[in-house]
Structures are given as C-alpha cells and as structure tokens.
Structure 1
Amino acid sequence: MRTCLKFASVAALTLMVAACSEQNEGGQQQANAQPQATPVGTVTLEAQTVGLVEEMPGRTVAFRKADIRPQVDGIIKERNFTEGGIVEAGQQLYMIDQDVYLARVDAAQAELSRQRASLDQAVKTRTRYDPLVKSQAVSRQTYDDAVSAEAQGKAAVASARAELEQARIDLAYTTVTAPISGQISSSDYSEGSLVTANQAAKLTTITQLDPIYVDVTQAGGRLLKIKQAVKNGRIKGVDAGNIEVSLIIDATGAEYPQKGTLQFSDVTVNETTGTVRLRAVFPNPDGTLLPGMFVRGQVRQGRLEGAFLVPQKAVMRRPDGTAYSYVAVDGKVVSKDLQIEQSQGENWLVSAGLEDGDQLIVDGIQRIGPGAAVAPQPVETAADDGSAKPADDTAKAAE
C-alpha cells in the first residue's frame, strides 16, 4: 500500500515540473516576440507665438559730454560751482580777469566813433559837390575823389563796428558758462591760474547722465537673418521706431527698472569682431547708470508665430552641430531635426522640425534610440528647479 502511494506522489510531481517548464518556455517565446517597452517621460508640444529676445553684451555711454576750455587768455578770478555737483546750461563756471577786455571794448568803441565822424565829413563833402559838378564848378576828378572818400569812410565804419563786436565777444568769453546741463567733474584749475585760448588741457568736464546711451553688439549674420525673416513675414511685430530694450547690470546681476528704446544700428560691420553696434537710450533719473558700466541688453526683435519652446535637455547635437530630438510616435522613437532660433531661459526656441501635438521625449533619452519601443509617461517641466516631474495622473497611477 505504501509503495503505491509513493509511486503516485512521484508521478504527480513529474506532471507539475512538466507544466511549469511549458509555462516558462511559453513566456520566453512571448517575451522574444514582444520586446518590453522602455518607459520615457514626454511632454506634449503646442505651437505658440513667442517673442524674440536677443541678449547682447554692451556698455553705457554718456548721452552728452562737454570738455570745458577757455577761449581767451587771462587769469582765473572766480570758480562758481561745486565739484561733482549738478550744473544747468548757461550757468557761470569761471570768471577770467576782464580788465584787459574792457579796455579793448572802450578802444574799439572810440575807433568806431572816429570812423563815423570821418564818414560824416565825407558824406557832407560829396553832397556839396553834387550840384557843382553839374555846373562844372568843380572838376570831375574832384567829385570822384569825394565819392571814393565816402565809400572808404563807410568801409572804415563797418570795420570798426566789427572790431567792437569782436572785443565784446572776447569780453563775454571771460565768463565761462556751462554749454549743457549735467554733472560736473573736478576742476583742474583754480583761482589765480593762467589759462590760454583753446589750450589742450581742459578746465573741467560736464557729463549728461539722464538719459544715457547703452551700446550693445550683435553678430552681423544674426542681424541679417532677422531682417530677412521680417521681410518675408516669418517674424512679425517689428516696429523699427519703437523696439523695447531691457537691461541687466553685470556688476549686480539685477535688472534695471527702466525700459529703453532702440535708437539706431550701425551701417557697417566691425571687421575684427564681425559684430554690429546697436544704440539704445534709457531714462536715468537717479543716476544709477554711469558711463563705462558693463551691461547686458535684452532687445525685443519681433515675434515668431508657430514656434515651440523645447527644454534644452531634450535637444541633442550631432558632430556637425545640427540639432535633433526624439519624439514618441505609436510607441516608437522617431528622430526629428530641429531649426533653433535662440535660447530662452532653460528652453530652445525651435522654429522648424516639430509639429503641434508631438510627444517630445524629455526623460530616459540615454536608454533609447530611433525605432526603440517606448512607453510614454507625461511629465511636467515647470518645476522650480527646471527638472521634469511626473504629471499628477501619472503620479497617482504610480501610487
């Protein structure tokens, strides 16, 4: 009886082993027939209108700058400003000794009076000769001499009047005034200093800081592409007379609170750097910006319709520099070539190569290749640290 039970147990165990072996072989065949899909994180792309903002390096430049120099010789008698202060156009800055120039004005005035007296005499003489020459009481030669003397007297009066005006101008130049409003620098000359007309050394400098210029540079080729895109209508919303510019101060990394306006761009390309200079003007009421500061200008150059903002981590480069990304199509990986316009934050602005609704693969790129089977899992890319995180539905399903 025990022998029969033993044989029955061995037979049952043999049948179980055979069944398990058949199940393993069937599962292996099924696995070989259908490879397991790799889970990847994807985002659904939506075409949108994106503003083109080009960030360019630049420096601040004074709106106006005037070096003050004397226009007459003399000794400085007064200095009438506070160094480093604000002066207004027309304000008196220096007073040069006027005694010599007052004397010249008096002398010129006296000379003018003398020439006028001579002219009066010449006019009276010519007037007396008018009837006499007709009756031949005086010779024609005498009359011509009287007419000539009158003409010479008029010329002498005009010359004396010009000399008087020049003397008055020189006298006015003894008062050195500010040609522009702005902040004045230190004075290189003080009371008692001797100055000469049109000397090379300046007395001081006035700089107008409000508004202020910002000169930025852009690659010449990039500017040409933008102009062509505007011409063929691919880039819209460009108003050459009202292009807004934002500013970031390099020293602090902070954005300047005032917005500027682009004024012009140079008509030539720098032969050394291949760049074009763009000049913007900014309000500077508080004097925050000083000439010579390094800044970064963000120039708005229109808007691009039907574009995509693609996370930079989803874009790869080939050895030749061309860009591409992976998208999931019917559970398979498809590679798409991209045309990138510029970077914006942590995204690339893509103008061609993608379509509305594409499932862009942003996570798990290292584990896949073109044609690989994938299991798309939607993710969000708006995390504070810029990393992708599972969408709410996916996270709940994982839980």
Structure 2
Amino acid sequence: MKLAWGSSARIGAVVVLGAGLGSLLAGCGQSSSPATAAAPPPPEVGVVTVAPGRADLATELPGRLEAYRVAQVRARAAGILQKRLFTEGSDVKAGQALFEIDATPYRATLASAQATLARAEANLLQAQTLADRYAPLAKSQAVSQQEALNAQAAALQAKADVAAGKAAVQTAQINLGYAAVTAPIAGRIGRALVTEGALVGQGEATPLAVVQQIDKLYVNFTQSAAEVMRLRQALAEGRLQRAAGKEAAQVQVLLEDGSVYAEAGKLLFSDLSVDAATGQITLRAELPNPKGLLLPGLYVRVRLAQAEVADGVWLPQQSVARGATGETVLVVADDGSVSARPVKLGPAQGGKALVLSGLKAGEKVVVDGLQRVKAGGKARPVAWTPPGSAPAASAPASAATKS
C-alpha cells in the first residue's frame, strides 16, 4: 500500500508540473502573437514652391578683351634717337611728344628749300615785270611779238619755280616735324622698344612704342552655330520670346575669379557666316573701362541675354530626373501624396533648370530627399534651403523658398 501511494503521488506531481508548463507556454504564445503596429510617419522632403515669372535666357561664352584702338608709334624720319619724353606705362594724350630724333639735317634741308623759294620769287618778280612792259609795246610794234612771248613764257616759268620752291619748303617742314615723334591717339603707352642713341628710320619705319586706348574695350567671343539654330527655332515656335528693350543688346562680363564686372557691355554685331574650321559664330561687344581695371588680352566669360520666357520656373538641377521618356519632377500634393510630373525644359543656367511647361503656381516640387520617396507614396514637405545659405526655421510647405 505504501508503494502504491508513492506511485500515485509521483503521478500527481507530474500532472501538476505538466499543467504549469502548459500554462507557461500558452502565456508565451499569447505574448508573441502579431499585433497591429503603428504605421511609420511619411518621410520628410525639402521642396520649393513653384512661382512662375519672367526668366531671361542668358548664354555664357568664352571671350577675350581687345583694346578699342591700337596705334604703333614708328620713326618716319631717319636719324639718331636723342630723347624719350614719356614714362613707360603711363597715359598719354593725342599729339603729345614721345621721342626726339636728331633734327639738324632736316633744319638744314628746310633752310635750303626756303632759300631756293626766295630766289624763285625774285626771278618771278623780274620776269613778270618784263612781261608786263613788253605787252603794250608789242601792240604798238615797238618790240617784236616773239620778244613779248618770250617774256610771258619766262614769267610763267618763274611762277612754276615758285610753286616748286613752296612744295620743297613744305616737304622739308614735314620731315622736320617727323623728327619730333608724337602720340597718334590718346591712351596708355607701353615700354619703349628702342633706347636713346639708336639709329632709327633707315629704310623702313622703325617701331618705337605702342599706344592702346583702353577707356573702352572690345570683347570678342564665339557661340556655337548649333546653339544659335536651336535658339532661333525656339523663337520661331513661340516657346521663347526675344529679349526686349535695352537688354537685347547688353552683355555682362565675368572675370576669371567668377565676379561680375560692374560695367555692362553693348553688343555691336555678330558675323553673318560660320567659321568652317570650328563651327562657331564670332560676336563683338563694346565694354566701358573708365578706371582702366581691365587690360587687353584678358580672358573673360561673357553672359549674353538673347531671349526670355514669360512664365518660366527655375528649379535646382537635382530636382529633375531624366529618363528615356523625358524629364520629370516629383510633386507633393496638399494631402502629402507624391506624383511624377513630366516637364519641358529650356536651357540650363547657373546650375538651375528652366521649366517651360508642366508645372502650376503653388505646386511643391521635391528637391531634397528624392531617394526617400517615390511616385504613389507619401511625404511631409518642408521648405528647402540651398546649401551654403542660412538655415531656415521649420516652416510649412506653402512658405517654401521660391527659386
């Protein structure tokens, strides 16, 4: 009986232990069963609010500065260079004396020509007096007609000698004037190409210096003929309008450091033919340079306004996706839903894309966080702040920065 009771006790303990283990497993099963989890919030994306407006289409082209006028100062009189009368690199006026060439032989030539002229004038006086005396005597047959004709011929020859003498004097004066070399134009003069004591003007006009007028400069630049054709086609189709008013002929010059030159230039002309070697069209603009800050030969970039869009939208380049079907942007609706919108683009400028059509005023275009959203999803729009600008406080999407 004791043995039987012990067996029963052990059996009961096993039953109780099994029941407890079952309850424990049941409890664990209930705690690990899936429950309805809270949905994650939509991702935050930076957007810009579409604000259509007038957009100028400007093209940046490489160019070089050229002096408005360039004059080479040359020695037109042969002789020894005696003096240099200017400071190299200074501004000179038109007619200012620059060099002196030994004028002694030219003064002697002038004196000789003046003496010859005086002798010719004396001969003319004598010949003319004789001709005047013989004229009435020939009528009364006091002298022969031949003597009267000879006197008139001598007077005419004396007049010719006087004219030749005057020409010789004028030539001698001109050559004497060449001994004093003057500036042909006003401008800035460079270094002297010869020194005192040099023999100049022997056989050819010796270069002495160069004067450049730089209070105004020319900007020579080129534009691809293909770009010109595309622009003309867009203008013909009405997608673009011609730049109106004074801006049509104005250009801006960008220096090598990226800064914009303060003075605006004026477009003068564009070539009527295309360079067969490069496929480029040459253009020229005139640029004021009152302080002489810019120098000829300087490399610059020229920003030329050629057309405008009445209702264009500027967007950052990263907001536009390009695919086989064209360009698209992601637009966030008021309820946070995201949709892809096909757009038509114009020429890019300054790191921005110009949207010609496909967007409406007030729509929110995703600029930052494109990798976190896709069309058909949800997003929480916030105003996008361009890199490098002051961080903006959290604002609703309707107050997003306008591009």
What whole-Å deviation, never above 9, does each CA across 1:47-70 have from its counterpart, x for those lacking one?
Answer: 211122322211222222222110
Give the alignment's Cα RMSD to 1 decimal.
3.9
What whole-Å deviation, never above 9, does each CA across 1:260-303 have from its counterpart, x for those lacking one?
Answer: 33333333333222223333333334432222221122233353
SS at match of 1:94: strand
Closer/same/farther in 2, CA of residues 215 and 388 from structure 1, 3 Å limit: farther
Question: How many residues matched?
Answer: 370
What whole-Å deviation, never above 9, does each CA across 1:155-184 have from its counterpart, x for those lacking one?
Answer: 222121111101000001100111222332
Counterpart residue number, 1:71: 76
How far apart in 2 are the matches of 1:169 and 1:241?
A: 49
SS at match of 2:219: strand
How far apart in 1 are the matches of 2:276 and 2:324?
A: 29
Corresponding position: 1:333 with 2:339: yes
Counterpart residue number, 1:392: 395
Closer/same/farther in 2, CA of residues 122 and 247 from structure 1, 3 Å limit: same
How far apart in 2 are the matches of 1:394 and 1:196?
A: 79
Corresponding position: 1:160 with 2:165: yes
How far apart in 2 are the matches of 1:183 and 1:277?
A: 27
Which residue of the other structure, out of 177, 196, 201, is the alignment partner of 2:201?
Answer: 196
Q: What are the within-5 Å matches in structure 2 for residues 25-44 of structure 1?
A: 42-44=47-49
Counterpart residue number, 2:401: none
How far apart in 2 are the matches of 1:386 and 1:267?
A: 45
How far apart in 1 are the matches of 2:67 and 2:130?
A: 64
How far apart in 1 are the matches of 2:295 and 2:302?
A: 15
Counterpart residue number, 2:211: 206
Q: What are the within-5 Å matches in structure 2 for residues 295-306 of structure 1?
A: 295-306=300-311
Counterpart residue number, 1:253: 258
Counterpart residue number, 1:115: 120
1:246 touches 1:298 (CA, 8 Å); kept in 2?
Answer: yes
What whole-Å deviation, never above 9, does each CA across 1:161-210 have from its counterpart, x for those lacking one?
Answer: 11110100000110011122233222222221111157364112222332
* TM-score normalized by the length of structure 1: 0.77
Counterpart residue number, 1:101: 106
Closer/same/farther in 2, CA of residues 282 and 367 from structure 1, 3 Å limit: same
1:83 touches 1:185 (CA, 8 Å); kept in 2?
Answer: yes
What whole-Å deviation, never above 9, does each CA across 1:59-106 have from its counterpart, x for those lacking one?
Answer: 222222222110010111211122223322222111111110011111
How far apart in 2 are the matches of 1:367 and 1:294?
A: 44
SS at match of 2:107: helix
* TM-score normalized by the length of structure 2: 0.76
1:313 touches 1:362 (CA, 8 Å); kept in 2?
Answer: yes
Corresponding position: 1:314 with 2:283: no
Where do 5+ consecutive residues of structure 1 fail to align?
none
Larger radius of gyration, structure 1 or 2? 2
1:342 is matched by which residue type in structure 2? A
1:245 is matched by which residue type in structure 2? V
SS at match of 1:153: helix
Corresponding position: 1:235 with 2:238: no
Deviation at 1:347, TM superposition (A): 1.5
Counterpart residue number, 1:244: 250
Closer/same/farther in 2, CA of residues 336 and 78 from structure 1, 3 Å limit: same
Closer/same/farther in 2, CA of residues 318 and 115 from structure 1, 3 Å limit: farther
SS at match of 1:172: helix
2:47 touches 2:397 (CA, 8 Å); kept in 1?
Answer: no
How far apart in 2 are the matches of 1:273 and 1:307?
A: 32
Deviation at 1:386, TM superposition (A): 7.7
2:313 is matched by which residue type in structure 1? F
Which residue of the other structure, out of 172, 176, 182, is the alignment partner of 1:177?
Answer: 182
Identity over aligned residues, as a percent? Answer: 35
Closer/same/farther in 2, CA of residues 154 and 365 from structure 1, 3 Å limit: same
1:325 is matched by which residue type in structure 2? V
1:41 touches 1:379 (CA, 8 Å); kept in 2?
Answer: yes
